Amino acid sequence: MLLESASLNALVLDDIHPVFLQGLEEMKIKVLKKLDLSSDELEKIIAGYEIIVVNSKTQVNKKLIDAATQLKFICRPGSGMENIDMLYAEQKKIVCINSPEGNCVAVAEHCLAMLLSWNRNIIKANNEIKRGEWLRKENTGEELNGKTIGIVGYGHTGSELAIRAAAIGMKVLAYDKYKTGFGNEKIEECSLEKIKTDADIISFHLPLTTETKYMADASFFEQLGKKILLLNTSRGEVVNTKDLITALQQNRIKGACLDVLENENLKSYNEKEKMQFDFLFELPNVIVTPHIAGWTNESRYAMAAVLLQKLKKNLKIN
């Protein structure tokens, strides 16, 4: 797609690293940054823009795309694209760009941090010491060395986690429905069934689609061969919260490390959700972080820089 960049207008709805905005300005693209537009306000002004930069909160649906009569590019820092109707965008000849390469290392490191914290009782012991309790024997942990981790989804983040897990002595099983031939002497490419049977730890690295929604449900937990530790840094709806709680209550799994939830707006919880998540948050064998796995100073820059280079490539700009 060859366009004259000086004639383009970009609407930035995401608090993206300044390197991206600087890049647009260097290309003489006119930029408007608006982080607090309602959906109605966005629909009223989007017709004036060829480029939009969105985060996961902006729903780029058919209605919005129809209102965006000049739109040529939808840019999404990071990996998730489930908030964008990509099929309809493609029909409208709109190019969708994301930058999963930018935060895959950050996510992989966060996974290891959560695993180490869980296995070595770091959070629990820290809280006890601050209460004046010095408990050594009670906080005897487990080593990750020698454990089997099953990685579900072998894209950018799954493959980065596999490298790091293998480096600390873990046996790595990996499954990807849409990718084959990636196994090597350190990573065993296998079926999802083998992961369910053999893994001590199962980590999800999947986009949210109709296929992956509630992949970890009651049936999934019933098929496990071991009491696993479940790790989810992908999307909250990959794991069915109700079924996860049941699995924890029934002692089917050891625990969970969650960076994502089905509903991440804690203030919007209805009574049922509040009861579920209050129970989950109070469990000593559950660690929860606020969707920060992919957020580091380095990844924030990298996501923006990769996105900028992809946009330039599509614009045929060196």
Residues 6+ apart with CB under 8 A from 91: none
| C-alpha span between 288 and 274 (Å, rounded) | 15
Residue 252 is a catalytic residue: no
* Catalytic residue flag (residue 291): yes
Q: What angle do CA 280, 285, 289 make, to 5 degrees?
A: 65
Catalytic residue among 235, 237, 262, 300: 235
235 in catalytic set: yes
Instruction: Exactly one of 90, 143, 264, 298 is catalytic; name it.
Output: 264
| CA torsion angle 39 41 47 53 (round to 10) | -60
* Residue from 120, 164, 252, 291 carrying the catalytic annotation: 291
Distances (CA, A) of 295 to 49, 109, 260, 312: 28, 11, 13, 24
Q: What share of the chain is helix, strand, coil (3-state, %, to 5)?
A: 40, 15, 40
Nearest Cα residue to 102 out of 147, 160, 151: 160
Q: How far apart are CA 124 and CA 122, in angstroms?
A: 6
Would you please indicate which residues are annotated as catalytic (active-site) residues?
235, 264, 291
